[in-house]
């Protein structure tokens, strides 16, 4: 590999190292904040994954000394030349290091992506039919609120559950989800 290729490999290794540090920091935040929602964990982890794509190149452009040999020899936490001198199975440790941390980052990303994809395959809760009095009250109140907001009246998904459930869902196919338990709590 030429000197230019080795320089870019070293810069790439530094970017992965920076992403690893950012990922560990974000992972500590996710765990200390007890974030359980996979979408929120994915969003926080995306910040750490976007760091090497956006912030690290900006650092190289703002401080061109970071790309020089002197910086790599004196200040950089990871100098590829020193790591590549050590070999394991005929391959330099720098490349093993890059592969290992790329695999660890992919595993962290998939740790939340897989449950999110599997959750989308689950069928939505089965809607029930409310009694006629409840249906009439819901239709009147919801149409009045929708008219006041100047939006079309959303469909209501009524759940036959004792637990109180009340939320709005959807972006393109919006709906109001309401349970029998929530109806008992409302006036």
pLDDT: which is higher, 82 or 130: 130
Distance CA 76, CA 82 (A): 11
| 157/128 Cα distance (integer angstroms) | 8
Position with higher pLDDT, 27 vs 74: 27
pLDDT at position 148, please?
A: 93
| pLDDT tens per residue across span 146-172 | 899 888 888 888 888 888 988 888 777
Query: Which helix or strand (DSSP H or E) is residue 91 part of?
Result: strand 91-92
State the average pLDDT over residues 86-113. Answer: 78
Q: Please tell me the predicted confidence (pLDDT) of residue 76.
A: 64
Residue-level pLDDT at 185: 85
pLDDT of 83 higher than 70 = no
3-state secondary structure of 159: strand
Cβ neighbours for 175, distance < 8 A, ≥ 6 positions apart: 154, 155, 156, 157, 168, 169
Phi, psi of 185 (to 5 degrees): -80, -25
Q: Which residue has the higher pLDDT, 86 or 1?
A: 86
Q: What is the mean pLDDT of residues 93-98?
A: 77
User: Residue 2: pLDDT above 60?
Assistant: no
Instruction: Give whole-number Cα distances, 79 to 6, 20, 65, in Å.
Output: 11, 16, 14
- What are φ and ψ of residue 175, in 5° steps? -160, 160
Sheet holding 175-179, edge to edge: 156-159, 175-179, 166-169
| Average pLDDT value for residue range 71-99 | 71
Q: 155: which 2 tokens?
A: 């469909």
> Is the pLDDT higher at 118 or at 84?
118
- The model carries a pTM of 0.38
Average pLDDT over residues 88-103: 79
pLDDT tens-digit map of 123-140: 766 677 888 887 888 888
- Kindly give, in sequence order, each residue whose CB lies less than 8 Å from that of residue 92, ignoring residues fewer than 6 positions away: 83, 84, 85, 86
What is each CA distance from 114 to 5, 40, 98, 101, in whole angstroms? 35, 14, 24, 20
What is the average pLDDT value for the chain, to the nearest integer? 77
Higher pLDDT pick, 33 / 84: 33
């Amino acid at each position: 590999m030429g000197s230019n290729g080795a320089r870019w490999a070293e810069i790439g290794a530094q970017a992965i190292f920076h992403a690893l540090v950012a990922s560990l920091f974000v992972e500590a935040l996710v765990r200390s904040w007890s974030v359980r929602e996979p979408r929120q964990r994915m969003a926080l982890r995306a910040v750490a994954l976007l760091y090497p794509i956006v912030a690290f190149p900006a650092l190289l452009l703002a401080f061109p000394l970071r790309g020089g040999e002197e910086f790599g020899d004196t200040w950089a936490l990871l100098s590829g030349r020193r790591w590549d001198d050590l070999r394991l199975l005929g391959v330099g440790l720098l490349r093993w290091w890059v592969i290992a941390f790329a695999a660890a980052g992919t595993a962290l990303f998939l740790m939340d992506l897989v449950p999110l994809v599997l959750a989308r395959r689950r069928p939505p809760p089965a809607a029930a039919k409310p009694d006629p009095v409840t249906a009439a009250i819901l239709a009147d109140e919801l149409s009045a609120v929708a008219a006041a907001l100047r939006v079309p009246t959303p469909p209501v998904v009524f759940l036959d559950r004792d637990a109180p459930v009340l939320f709005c869902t959807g972006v393109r196919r919006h709906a109001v989800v309401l349970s029998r338990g929530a109806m008992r709590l409302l006036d």
